[in-house]
Structure 1
Amino acid sequence: MGNKGIISSGDIQWMTAGSGIIHQEMPKGDPNGVMFGFQLWANLPKSHKMMEPRYRDVKNRQIPEVMLENGTKVRVICGKAGGRQGPVRDIITNPEYLDVTVPARSEFIHPTKRGHTVFAYVIEGKGYFCKEKLPFSYEIEGVNYFDIQRDPFVSNETLVLFDDGDQMMVSTEGDAVRFLLISGKPIGEPIAWYGPIVMNTEDELRVAFEEYHNGTFVKHGRV
């Protein structure tokens, strides 16, 4: 009932569940069983909830890589950057999915679309986002308030949600920073979510689970 993108070992598996799909993920890590990857789920609007399912496998070598003059590297998974188009296309919510690495003492500016939800998830290093260097401008949760470190950097395993605007910017000092930059058009519809199925109403959820249990959930064969 939605799109799911999985990035693992540089490769991408992109699946649109649509009217119903049953799948099993069997990822393999390195010789020690360790794997570095991400999953991103994107909801489908009501008008496309029952579209035909599809599956695409994108290899690492198919992902264009843009190298900017200051050494910033952008791997374009979905959307556009530096005049290059990513291999994942035809997604209903018009998302952008970039893997960005900004070297030390550098700056990266990227245009964003008004009205789209935009966020960055830092996966290596640290940097300043949108020139914000005041530590007290960030909302901190899940820590003892008296133990908060006054560090204005945004670092590994931190998500930054941007306000609506025309661009985002990241700058670094002594360390490089790598982050996933993701954006998409909000659907603005009610969500009914239970387990792996996302619909608009509880009645639609009930029908979907009834179809799963009576064997009619998959309507378009195998993908």
Structure 2
Amino acid sequence: MTERTIRFRIDAIPTADGAGVKLRRSLGAQRGLHLDPFLMLDEFSSDDPDDYIAGFPPHPHRGFETVTYMLDGRMEHKDHMGNTGRLDPGGVQWMTAGRGVIHSEMPRQREGRLRGFQLWINLPAAEKMRPADYRDLAPEAIPESVPAEGVHVRAIAGQTRVIVDDAESILRGAVNPDRERSTDPLLVDVALDAGRRLTVMLEPGHNAFVYAIDGVPRVVREDDAESLSAHTAGLLGPGDRVTLAAPDDAPARMLLLAAKPIGEPVVQYGPFVMNTREEIEQALADYRAGTLTAA
């Protein structure tokens, strides 16, 4: 058994997207700054409606998947396929852009706090032109586990084993899809009371990272612990497990993400992610011609 440790840190930088929504971007903040197959991670969080009220009006995507996870507030998704879904606190939207999708994500509130994450997961070349797909997961559809006092886990995607206080249990996420996802993603939200820790088993060949949501999460190896400050992604090195902990004097909350790398070229232009420049040019031509979403 080999414990994973933090090998690289990415501090999220303030930016804006959509119609001016203020957010922080870690993965994807610079060209090439990603962890195969994870392309981008945005955290949006504000109590000021001016920071989010304009939302993300209709826009296109091709070649990857988006996962939106709400912590506070409400948003509504609409797309060209006729799907409408409301994201409530704790809810998840999983969208496969595939060949092409045109959608919007707009706030369903005029005041109060809006907080959540959007993750982009790449698709291999063989799946980039598959039909678009959308899945809306209500908060109650996300499995929640309390394997021990002071340890709370929400399993969004994937399946793994977790160990706490020498007791082992199986963790099964809401997204174990009808079709096999070649990247086999694992997404879990871990909340720990002060001084508590949790070990999560990971596939040795999968890339993984931890993102600090609240507090100062720690990645532990034997008697050593590496801390993650707010708005920071900690990319993990090799191994088959990771031990997450909270400081002795305060709770901590974090996202743990892992997936099988694709190992293919990544060419991105705005909302399109393909393998070659020619494919990007084709995506732009299809969008301009109104055929991006054609079967």
**What does residue 172 of structure 2 align with?**
85
Task: Select 2:242's aligned residue among 168, 175, 178.
Answer: 168
8 Å Cα contact 2:217/2:254 also seen in 1:
no
Q: Which moved more, 1:200-209 or 1:67-76?
A: 67-76
**What does residue 126 of structure 2 align with?**
47
**What does residue 141 of structure 1 align with?**
none
Tell me which structure has the larger Cα radius of gyration.
Answer: 1
Unpaired runs of 5+ residues, structure 1, are: 136-151
Deviation at 1:88, TM superposition (A): 1.7
1:2 aligns with 2:64: yes
**What does residue 60 of structure 1 align with?**
139
Q: For residues 79 and 58 of structure 1, what CA distance do their matches in structure 2 show?
A: 14
Deviation at 1:17, TM superposition (A): 0.4
**Cα distance, 1:74–1:127 mapped onto 2, change above 3 Å:** same
1:87 is aligned with what amino acid? A
**Cα distance, 1:52–1:6 mapped onto 2, change above 3 Å:** same
Aligned residues: 203
Give me the TM-score of the superposition, normalised by structure 2.
Answer: 0.65
> 1:152-167 counterparts in 2 under 5 A?
153-167=227-241
Deviation at 1:187, TM superposition (A): 0.5
Q: Let me know the Cα RMSD of the aligned residues.
A: 1.8
Q: Secondary structure at the match of 1:109?
A: strand
**Cα distance, 1:17–1:118 mapped onto 2, change above 3 Å:** same
**What does residue 101 of structure 2 align with?**
21
Q: For residues 218 and 279 of structure 2, what CA distance do their matches in structure 1 show?
A: 44
Q: For residues 272 and 133 of structure 2, what CA distance do their matches in structure 1 show?
A: 16
Give me the TM-score of the superposition, normalised by structure 1.
Answer: 0.85
**What does residue 95 of structure 1 align with?**
185
Structure 1 stretches of 4+ with a deviation exceeding 4 A read: 132-135
> 1:80-159 counterparts in 2 under 5 A?
80-81=159-160, 82-90=169-177, 91-131=181-221, 153-159=227-233
Unpaired runs of 5+ residues, structure 2, are: 1-62, 71-88, 161-168
Superimposed CA distance per residue, residues 86-132 of structure 1 (whole angstroms, 9 cap, x where no aligned partner): 12233331000000011111111111111111100011111321248
% of aligned pairs identical? Answer: 37
